[in-house]
Structure 1
Amino acid sequence: MAEPTATGLVHNLDTDPNCLKQRESWRSNVTKTDDGHYRYALKDGQSNFSLRPSMTMIPEGGIAVVQYRGNNARAESDYPSDCTILSDNGWLLVVKALKNSICAIRYYSGYVELDHVTVLPDETEYRRMRDGYKLPAGFDGDTMPLMGGGRAKRHRLAARLRRSDWVVAA
């Protein structure tokens, strides 16, 4: 049986794909967790808090895929003219930048802990990543391309591929 041919590389533009650096946030309490991530929660006396999911600017038309843990954290775009939420299933948030933006996300309750972030230049790259890996429900920490813009630790698939970017098979 022949090996599948590569149709290209998927490159993560985020410089901290494992979310081990504190993100910019507003009106929030931030604490470092035991696993090295950060918990962002509503500050006392505030009605909402905002969080920048990516360390980098998301290009116009770009997609940010954010794996997170949360508790009653209802998300919406902080600046709807800058970005829009394409989907949020309670553990995976997909945001599209409508112009070059930080794509801040507003939360009204609960807390959020970011696990992984992938920033892609456009929807075509997002579909290539999603469809190339035959992942109908989205991504998780073992299937998101984490090796692009930053020096993230290798996970199972990235180590197996021995690449800094992921190869999408036909």
Structure 2
Amino acid sequence: MQILKTMKRLTAFMLLIFVLAGCGYQNSATQPNMLSKGFTKVSFGKVKNPTLDRWLEPAMRSQIRDEITNRGQLQWVDKAEAEALINLKIISLEDSNGIRGDKDETLKYEETLRVQMSITNPTDGRTIWNSGTVEVSESYLPNNEPATQQLVVKLMSRRLVDRLNQAY
């Protein structure tokens, strides 16, 4: 009886692996950047942050740089040597009351980050790629705002680089 249960579990597990492999599922973090072959050396161009959160710009730069570096194929260089410039426009970082209790106290909050990323040619300023406005939201309990803000930045960086890879 025990052998039969083990065999059923093993069969179900193997079936799951084959289904995932057959449908083309891939972990996006292992996908290389797919910029055109003429653009392998990149640098940050402009980063606009109209929010009052001054920590947000360096955090976004760092996370985007790490995400692209971890996926490989792009080389970070000085701006003067770059073949493509990565520009960020932080649209907003908002904190809202997500769920209220029966005594009108906030039980859960929601952090929402909106960003646009574009890649431009440094010689003529032509836009090579634009992400459009991307939004990431995460809910959190009171007193977890700093950790949630860092998580939202990390999730945003992943989503932007995923979109970049899908474009090429």
Q: TM-score range by the shorter chain?
A: under 0.3
TM-score (norm 2): 0.27
Q: Which structure is larger by alpha-carbon Rg, 1 or 2? A: 2
TM-score (norm 1): 0.27
Q: Which has the higher contact order (CA 8 A, sep 6+)?
A: 1
The structure carrying a bigger helix percent of its residues is: 2
